[in-house]
A = this chain, B = another copy of it.
Amino acid sequence: MAKRPAKQTPQQPIDPDRIPRAVIKRLSLYSRILQSFEFQGIEKISSAELARRLGLNSAQVRKDLACFGQFGVPGFGYHVNDLRRQVRSILKTDREMRVILVGVGNLGSALMSYRGFLKQGFTMLFGFDVNPRAAGDRARSKVPIYDIRDLESKISGQGVDIAVLAVPTDVVQEVANRIVKCGVNAILNFVPMRIEVPARVQVRYVDLSLELESLAYYVQGREKEGEKSD
């Protein structure tokens, strides 16, 4: 049973810039769930089940996938292996993504050693720090850590796809400038400060304390039922 679906419009010629940012994020989520399903030996999955697991609407799941082609089989659902392969191909995590980390302090070293940050398909080439020796001690990792002064020389010709920034706030713009000058066109910024870059460079932010602070707002609302007007 479970014949491979005959019909699959692979890689429809859709402008990548037309796809909403949010769709791409959810694709990463799908990829993750599919991986765990594959690991568990589950072979088929419906949009409804996928949606349930992620707290989404099933139509949304179908629409997201429909942006890139027809991967499903009506009356059946999606073949887990197949869909996963497709999603990884879309996200380009089926080829090697070459990553560097700048700033190997508390946060940076955690990112380096935390399995779960670098997924399959991503390779950390090396780290940079103003104090590579101390940084090397922190990061329990085989990834070499160089002096940040050698940034340009070390990464030239290495085909770096993405730079992860975890440096102090006051130097993040300067570090970003240097990285951009080296031809890196994607930056993942863990530093809670907006950086200015040329339009061709993609920047994403991860703000560790933002959600915490937001949560505080909702906490107070709950902690007492009746609000008294001061």
**Chain B residues, CB < 8 A from A186:** 215-216, 218-219, 222
Q: Looking at the assembled complex, report how far the CB atom of A59 sits from the nearest CB atom of chain B, in whole angstroms.
A: 19
Which segment of A13-21, A73-81, A150-158, A173-181 sits at the interface?
A: A13-21
In the assembled complex, the Cα of A28 lies from the Cα of B211 at a distance in Å of 9
Tell me how many residues of A have a C-beta within 8 Å of chain B: 67
**Chain B residues, CB < 8 A from A40:** none
In the assembled complex, the Cα of A117 lies from the Cα of B191 at a distance in Å of 11
| CB-CB under 8 A for A111 and B208, given A200-B222, A213-B119 | yes
Most buried by B among A106, A114, A162: A106
| CB-CB under 8 A for A97 and B55, given A11-B230, A208-B116 | no
Q: List 10 A-B contacts (CB under 8 A).
A: A11-B230, A16-B221, A25-B211, A28-B209, A92-B216, A92-B219, A106-B110, A116-B192, A202-B215, A204-B215
